[in-house]
Amino acid sequence: MVKLIGSNKVRLLVVIPAVLACGFLLFQQARGRVPATSMVVMTYNISDINGHLVALEKVANVIKMRGVPDLLLLQEVHGESEASALAGNLGLGYYLYSHYQGKKFGLALISRKPLSKAEILYFKGSQRGYAALAAELMVEGRRILVCSLHLDRIAQVQITENMAVVSWETALGLLKTELTEETIRSRSVDQLLSWVAARQSDRIIIGGDFNTIPFSKTIRAMSKAYDDALWPSFSYLNGTYKKLSFPVSPRIDFVFHSPDLECKGASVIREGAGDHYPVRAVFDLG
């Protein structure tokens, strides 16, 4: 026998999901508004696969798509000259640059506000000399510690001239490793967290190329101390690495912030000059 649902119950089944969906959309719209006392931050690995240089004008055009951010946390910057030229192109007056250990490219902070008290942390055990670059800035009378970082990529991923190659079998093995085991990335984050804590800052923004996925041991460690700017949002699982043979694009680029800062909206910008998409976040400092 087929049991008919009463008309009132049918209306409820339609109305309740609609109300919930509208509420979530309104929440996302509120998060996306740029407050008057705001700071817009973007993290972006601006190079291409195998470290190939991308034309500066192409990088600048991607950054400008939704307006020039107040702060850029950059990875794989090809020398201080590129950091300086990009700052000039974007009309941002301050930058800091530091090489990776033993490399001719590295990390940069580019800012609308002056940067001070810069420090570099080289990760112990990094096979690529990767690091974190931190500095302080003052916005609306508030001191904020900002940090750009780059963690080692997963060594088992095969890199060709134009593509990162991952099979289903490899992907499942890597998923288990990243979720459950200690890696060079999780150890580097432990080192980072101790280093940042020693700076004794209440307001902190950390962004970069973490080379791992949401819910990994590395990201769970970060999430114990800081909030992921993309949570909750429709972009939370959006991929940020695009030159992958695997059908699912992973998110490996993150912006984290201390609970003292309110994130009003964040998204993955689905345009990239190299092999990464940038992540953009808006913070309310009011």
pLDDT digits 0-9 by tens, 186-213: 999 999 999 999 999 999 999 999 999 9
Name 228's Cβ contacts closer than 8 Å, sequence gap at least 6: 214, 219, 222, 236, 254, 255, 256
Domain boundaries, the chain: 1-32, 37-284
Identify whether the C-beta of residue 49 lies closer than 8 Å to the C-beta of residue 275.
Answer: yes
Higher pLDDT, 155 or 192: 192
pTM recorded for the entire structure? 0.87
How far is Cα 101 from Cα 253, in angstroms, rounded to an integer? 21
Q: What is the mean pLDDT of residues 54-64?
A: 96
pLDDT digits 0-9 by tens, 216-236: 999 999 999 999 999 988 889
pLDDT digits 0-9 by tens, 17-47: 443 444 444 444 444 455 568 999 999 999 9
Give strand ranges (E) for 23-89. 38-45, 71-77
The vertex-103 CA angle with 94 and 51, nearest 5°, equals 85
Query: Which of the following CATH numbers is that of domain 37-284: 3.60.10.10, 3.40.50.1360, 3.20.20.70, 3.60.15.10?
Result: 3.60.10.10
Query: In this predicted structure, what is the pLDDT of residue 285?
Result: 86
- Cα four-point dihedral sign 16, 22, 24, 27: negative
